[in-house]
Amino acid sequence: MSSSITPARKRLMKDFKRLQEDPPQGIMGAPVENDIMTWHAVIFGPEGTPFEDGAFKLTLTFTEDYPNKAPVVKFVSRVYHPNVYKDGSICLDILQNKWSPTYNITGILTSIQSLLDEPNPNSPANAEAAQLYRENRREYERKVRDCVEESWSSDEEEEEDEDEDGQDGDDDDDGADGDAPDADKPDAAEQ
Amino acid sequence: MKVKVKRKWNVVAVWKWTAPDDSCGICRQAFDGCCPSCHEPGENCPIVFGKCKHCFHMHCILKWLGQPQDECPMCRQTWEFQ
């Protein structure tokens, strides 16, 4: 009966069921309405790490080659991390050359959650974060805390209530918010 | 003890693949079902073993191999059919 449902879509339904039935701690995800090939997810920063209390949004984009090809996974929230590019792309081996078709969405999101506190400084996507992680952990963690606080604001709705106390003025803007001006709203603190 | 076999009895047979797992690690469908490209279970959608002892629907592992990987999706050893 379901001959029009492709193998990739069948697999994604399995993944969805699995994630609903047995969600790992601090991980949420679901396909967007009417498109099972595009997912939105939220990863909460692991407790006891500088990322604790962060709620980081991601998108996952699948092709009909799934699970033989990895999805494209990107952070929508700004994440200050040695292995996360400024545009939200993630440098993680299992999403690139170490992909296996036995991975599912639960596994992908769990791996990204672990990556938050276990960066791989040998393949930096954010050179500054990688350097601070190695050489000035205190400053690194301060910058991580900034992005944790940013993750609480609902940037999608562009809401008016900007009473959150993030965005301390001394944030040296070394191009960090140049790539996603709509998300960062750098002028919000100036009003 | 006498056992009387009534004339009217219905024979029912079941079959199962002999596999260490219930489902294929690639498509996550039951081995007693079929891969997502097939419509009915049976010998047209067999399961195959590698030398590493891992098994998958034949159609699932064939789609993975040679593009350009040649590793078992479970253990990353070079895949060889058993």
In chain A, which residues have their Cβ closer than 8 Å to the Cβ of B30?
A: none
**CA distances, A190 to each of A30, A173, A177 (Å):** 36, 14, 15
Element (H, E) at A30: strand A27-32
CB within 8 Å: B64 and A68? yes
Among B22, B35, B58, B64, the strongest candidate for a mutation testing the A interface, having the largest count of A CBs within 10 A, is B64
- Cβ atoms of B46 and B32 closer than 8 Å: no
CB within 8 Å: A7 and B28? no
| pLDDT at B1 (0 to 100) | 78
A179 lies in some domain: no
CA distance A89 to A93: 12
A109 lies in some domain: yes
Beta carbons within 10 angstroms of residue A1's beta carbon: 5
For A157: left if phi > 0, alpha if psi spans -120 to 50, otherwise beta; the answer is: alpha
List residues in chain B touching A: CB distance below 8 A: 25-29, 35-37, 39, 60, 63-64, 67, 73-74, 76
In chain B, which residues have their Cβ closer than 8 Å to the Cβ of A10?
A: 27, 29, 36
Per-residue pLDDT band at A94 (split at 50, 70, 90): very high
A156 lies in some domain: no
Q: Which two tokens stand for residue A52?
A: 């604790």
For range B27-53, the mean pLDDT: 92
A42 lies in some domain: yes
A106 lies in some domain: yes
Minimal C-alpha gap between B1 and chain A (Å): 51
**Total count of domains within chain A:** 1
Please give the distance of CA A37 from its chain centroid, rounded to a whole number: 17
| pLDDT at A156 (0 to 100) | 52
With an 8 Å Cβ cutoff, is A10 touching chain B?
A: yes
- Cβ atoms of A31 and A16 closer than 8 Å: yes
For range A177-191, the mean pLDDT: 43
**CA distances, A160 to each of A56, A57, A147, A164, A187 (Å):** 21, 21, 20, 11, 13
For range A164-179, the mean pLDDT: 45
Q: ipTM > 0.90?
A: no
- Cβ atoms of A93 and A103 closer than 8 Å: no
For range A75-91, the mean pLDDT: 96
CATH number for the segment(s) B20-82: 3.30.40.10
Please give the distance of CA A185 from its chain centroid, rounded to a whole number: 19
HSE of B18, CA atoms in CB hemisphere, 13 A: 1
In chain A, which residues have their Cβ closer than 8 Å to the Cβ of B39?
A: 3
Domain housing A132: 7-150
pLDDT tens per residue across span A103-131:
999 999 999 999 999 999 888 999 999 99
CA distance A79 to A151: 8
A183 lies in some domain: no
DSSP state letter for A23: P
CATH of the domain at A114: 3.10.110.10
Task: Report the candidate in B37, B32, B34, B39 with the shortest Cα–Cα distance to residue B18.
Answer: B32
CA distance A42 to A36: 17
Return the residue matching tokens 């690639």: B26
For range A142-163, the mean pLDDT: 74
Q: Which two tokens stand for residue B37?
A: 């490209």
With an 8 Å Cβ cutoff, is A67 touching chain B?
A: yes
Please give the distance of CA B48 from its chain centroid, rounded to a whole number: 7
A161 lies in some domain: no
